[in-house]
Structure 1
Amino acid sequence: MDARHPVDSHLDALGDGLGRAATVLRANAMAAGLDATVPTCPGWTVRHLVAHVGMAHRWAAGHVSGSPIDSPEALEVAAMAEPDLLGWFDAGATALLQALVDAPDDLTAFVFLKNAPAPKVFWTRRQCHETTIHAVDALAARLGRPPAREETWISTELALDGLDELLRGFVPRRSQGIHPPEETVVLVRPDDSPIAWRLGMGPDHPVEVTQVEGASSAAYGTIDRELAGHPVDLYLQLWNRGTEVIPWWRDLVTITWK
């Protein structure tokens, strides 16, 4: 049994997830080649992908260390011309991991999602999932198609955490612009999980998200649409990276950073 505080264990798992995703992204980017197209990011090459994630790592490290980057967009553009882009990516990933290790537990820093945890956990979690999803993109570039769950390295635990961040953090933000023409209730229910998420959507209010734990189906109330399946499949599908596209979800929920 892990005797540490649950938050410490969660933080360690997220840090490990971030480091592993960075390794997977780099390996697949090298194997695919920087000029390869990315099937899961239409219009992007692997070069765009690596530059974007390398920028995100530096942007996050800047907030964690108290030295925010003035123009992340300009940094990403400049990275496209890096003669050793993968080396540049490695340096940024290493610096981010070190910044997170060095950050105090009571770090004070900018966060931008609803229901955000404390800043140190927030930034470790956000970059873990940012890097994981984009590592899936790099894998897709190598394969020439979106990968199946069995072809990824993603654990059930990481997928469930990623679903929680997506559904309680990103989806409720007003900037997501989720305004269905009529009241709609969506249930996201991973297989073999004690947790489900109930999303109440309407034309004139932000999405209302309720996390339901250990409940029978009767506790969910009236449901208009349900998304169920293996947690990793749902994680990929809800980020629009799965082998099976969910058109109504893709049309309804377009995740944006700001």
Structure 2
Amino acid sequence: MSRELGPVDHGRLLEVLEIEARVLGEVAHTASAEAPVPTAPGWTLGELLRHVGSVHRVTLGWLREGHKPAQWQRFPHQEETVAEYYASGRDALIAELAAHDPADHAATWWSADPTYGFWRRRTLHETLVHRVDVERAAGVDHPAVAADLATDGVDEVLTLYFGHKLALLGLTGTRHGTVGIQTGGHSWIARAGPETMDAWRCSPEEARSADELVSGDPANVYLWLWGRAAPTAVVSSRGHDLAAQLWALLRLATR
């Protein structure tokens, strides 16, 4: 049996990944490849679709080669469309993930979870966030995100990106403080400062005792942490300075 590191089990993660990846490709066909992506300034829809196809391929390289590949197909071949490039990478990665138990060993960039399950979760949220981007580019005002997936995504972006990726990048905060985050019946603490950056799950009481508390609907908190929602999408109990630092640091970690 696999270890479940988040609120959603790995079976559902894979099931929803297949759906999200298919919807992303389908929605991309409904708008021009030159359509700007409001939630990813400077990108067009076609560039975003190519990016996701590249991410799927580098992930497949991690799984098949046992380390981050030095080279992978980053762009469509001359005879391929971007849509074909995206679809072939998507299908190959999903097939690889489905062929292995989530507890099977896999090379990852997080020592806490060297398993196929890590990549089920990481790929699902990479794809889900960009499905939201694609829908916004296609004119959908309020893309839907299921509450359980959003809650799982909050856990991932805090524990993996804020609590781990920032340290890998050598990035820290400029101001000491803790931010409690509450949504979907779960709570976390994100602690920042010049010397330390970490995040962990906690009790509701611990979250409420933080220097600042951020709360809201799971989808709003998830999309806010990923830079896809306005500051007004969440509620901050004691001002916005530390929440703003959290948000800004995550922009560096997730870019």
TM-score of the superposed pair, with normalisation by structure 1: 0.82
1:166 counterpart = 2:157:
yes
Residue 51 of structure 1 corresponds to 50
Residue deviations 1:176-222 (CA, integer Å, cap 9, x gap)? 555333311101111x51x20011211112x2222114x3x3x3464
> Larger deviation: 221-230 or 87-96?
221-230
Equivalent runs, 1:156-235 vs 2, <5 Å: 156-173=147-164, 174-190=167-183, 192-193=184-185, 195-205=186-196, 207-213=197-203, 215=204, 217=205, 219-220=206-207, 222-235=209-222
How many angstroms does 1:114 deviate by? 6.3
Question: Which residue of 1 is the match for residue 70 of structure 2?
Answer: 70
Question: CA offset at residue 54 of structure 1?
Answer: 0.6
The CA deviation string for residues 65-116 of structure 1, in whole angstroms up to 9 with x for no partner, is 33764324xx32x338664211221111111111011124553322113643
In structure 2, the partner of 1:242 is: 229
Calculate percent identity across the aligned residue pairs: 25
Q: CA deviation at 1:128?
A: 0.3
User: Distance between the aligned counterparts of 1:202 and 1:57, measured in 2?
Assistant: 34
Which of 94, 119, 138 is residue 115 of structure 2 equivalent to? 119
* In structure 2, distance between residues paired with 1:20 and 1:168: 25
Shift of the 177–18 alpha-carbon distance from structure 1 to 2, 3 Å rule, reads: same
* More displaced stretch, 18-27 vs 125-134: 18-27
State the distance in 1 between where 2:112 and 2:151 align.
16
Instruction: Tell me if the contact between 1:115 and 1:168 (Cα under 8 Å) persists in the aligned partners.
Output: no
Residue in 1 aligned with 2:129? 133
Matched residues, number: 239
Partner of 2:81: 84
- The 10-residue stretch of structure 1 (238-247 or 27-36) with the greater mean CA deviation from structure 2: 238-247
DSSP-derived class of the 1:185 partner: strand
1:101 lines up with 2:94 in the alignment: no
Distance 1:180 1:142 in 2: 36
Q: Given that residues 146 and 219 in structure 2 are in contact (C-alpha distance below 8 angstroms), is that contact kept between their aligned partners in structure 1? A: yes
Query: Which residue of the partner structure matches residue 22 of structure 1?
Result: 21
RMSD of the TM alignment (CA)?
A: 2.7
Q: Contact 1:185/1:198 (CA < 8 Å) preserved in 2?
A: yes
The residue type equivalent to 1:140 in the other structure is: R
- Cα shift at 1:255: 4.2
CA distance in 1, matches of 2:194, 2:104: 37
Q: SS of the residue aligned with 2:178?
A: strand
Deviates more, 1:171-180 or 1:223-232: 171-180
Task: Tell which deviates more after alignment, 195-204 or 248-257.
Answer: 248-257
Q: 1:30 to 1:105 in 2, by over 3 A?
A: closer
Unaligned stretches of 5+ in structure 1? none
Instruction: Give me the TM-score of the superposition, normalised by structure 2.
Output: 0.83
| 1:256 paired to 2:250 | no
Kindly tell me: are residues 53 and 257 of structure 1, through their superposed partners in 2, closer, same or farther at Cα, counting changes over 3 Å? Answer: same
1:40 alignment partner AA: T
